[in-house]
Amino acid sequence: MNLTPGIALNEDDGHYYGTRAGQALDAEKVASFVDQYAGTQVRELVLNPNAQRTSYGSKVWDPIWLGYDPDGPDDQPLFASTAPEDVSRPRGWVHTAWQLHKDGIDPYKLWIERARKHGISPWISMRMNDVHCVDDEKFFIHGEFWRNNPQFRRVPYAFNNWMDRAFDYGHKEVREHHLKLVREYAERWDFDGLELDWMRFGFHFRPGYEQEGCEILTEFTREVRSILDEAEKRVGHQIKLSARVPSRPQNAIGLGMDAVAWAKEGLIDSLVVTPFWATAETDMPIELWKMLLEGTKVELAAGLEILVRPFPTYGQNQTNTLETVRGMAASYIHRGCDKIYLFNYMDSETTMDDTQNYQTLLREIGSLETIDGKARRHVVTYTDTWAVGVPAAYSLPANIAAGNREAFRVHTGPATPGMKAKAVLGIIDGSSDLAVRCNGFECASLGEIALSAPIPKFPTHAFAIPDEALRAGYNVLEVFAGADSNIGWVEIDLE
């Protein structure tokens, strides 16, 4: 097993521009953004230049500043649908990207060069179907191709959520629109790899057409691979291809993403399995993916999202912290992933609540050796992306009637000699008259406790897990209710 898989870190299309708005930016200042990742466990910097528009001067797609008047007021047409109190951030993004373009500065070229200087592999990530804020058709980030072609949307007859207005890749025009940007990327920059981010936003076909979609996206991936093969001749080195897909194989293929076929055909070199956004997923089936990829040379990355929630209706936005990321990373590396992939873990704004630990996280969570012996938390979450029509399954909340019990499976990674473990339960309502066993061993009650962030929004009670009870890998917590109880949070902590 590879003990030092390292980290791939995604930088999105707007974060840098929005958070550096108003600063004096020259080429060196822009390039120095990458310096913060030197000497960390980040071995791939994955740069995303697009959503529906690009944050650079594209010749084939709309740049983010299309329609922008740098001398105009905040209520100019581009921002007409943005509330006055909210326009500062969008305008900062647009203006910064526009100014850099005007000054002849290409951030992605500079970041690629600086990454290589630090021994970090530079990648470009392409969002394949971004539909942020499509409830507002006039919002500044939407491309004119999307606005002008509602017939190409996957659910043209209804609107219940953003994904309904995603592009339907069943249309040749949609595929060609996206291939234009792939070609431009390959011609414009000299990168080590291209990521097709199918998880922005994960739904690419009319309901009921996902089976045909598997063939369509496989052919699309072949075309991308062909474009990269041509680019390799120009740059003189291999250009890898990766894809981000749903965390569970049945959901990926059920949404038209036959990633295993791409791997077996030799089209991709890397695969990121991940949730969408609502929560980090702490029990992705890494072992199953490894089995399905057996015989290929494809690297498997475990994708970690920034938020942590125990169930879909939980509501509260809290981010993972150093301890919960350590827990996920330890688990996934122990299960056999080849790297940890961080999404929405940027250096500010869209980042961890405990930003003071950002650099520590980047130096620890890519290796079991650097996680070993440090406090970590293993929180039960859920799968946030399911194929259309497939019933979603969640462990929480769990109503336990008096005299009954409920079991929870928690993967805690490698063995932890010398560390103390406890089970933590958050009680939504009902009785706290609970007893807990871990792998059959009784756990002594520690009473009600206060956790550090992320903090469940209901009272938490802890139970000491005997040293001889905890096992490497999966551990089963059985919760026995003396009276009716509703459990909304479960975790195992090691310290």
- Report the distance separating Cα 64 and Cα 90, nearest Å: 10
The residues of the chain that CATH labels 3.20.20.80 are 7-372
Q: What is the architecture of the domain spanning 398-494?
A: Sandwich (2.60)
- Which DSSP string corresponds to 472-491? SSEEEEEEEESS-EEEEEEE
- Report the distance separating Cα 357 and Cα 370, nearest Å: 15
Token pair in block for residue 314 = 């939980």
- Report the distance separating Cα 352 and Cα 306, nearest Å: 7
- Report the distance separating Cα 47 and Cα 30, nearest Å: 14
Q: Is the peptide bond before 107 cis (omega within 30 degrees of 0)?
A: no
The answer to whether 476 and 407 have CB atoms below 8 angstroms apart is yes
7-372 has which fold? Answer: TIM Barrel (3.20.20)
What is the model's pLDDT at position 4? Answer: 67
What is the model's pLDDT at position 5? Answer: 81
- The distance from CA 473 to its chain's CA centroid, rounded to whole angstroms, is 23
Q: pLDDT tens digits for 448-486?
A: 999 999 999 999 999 999 999 999 999 999 999 999 999
What is the model's pLDDT at position 61? Answer: 98
Task: Spell out the alpha helix ranges (H) of 47-153.
Answer: 88-102, 107-117, 144-148
The residues of the chain that CATH labels 2.60.120.1200 are 398-494
Spatial neighbors of 432 by CB under 8 A, at least 6 apart, are 448, 459, 461, 485
Q: Which of 472, 438, 198 is nearest to 336 (CA)?
A: 472
Flag residues of the chain having pLDDT under 50: 1-3
Q: What is the pTM of this model?
A: 0.97
Partners of 407 in the β-ladder: 478
What is the model's pLDDT at position 374? Answer: 98
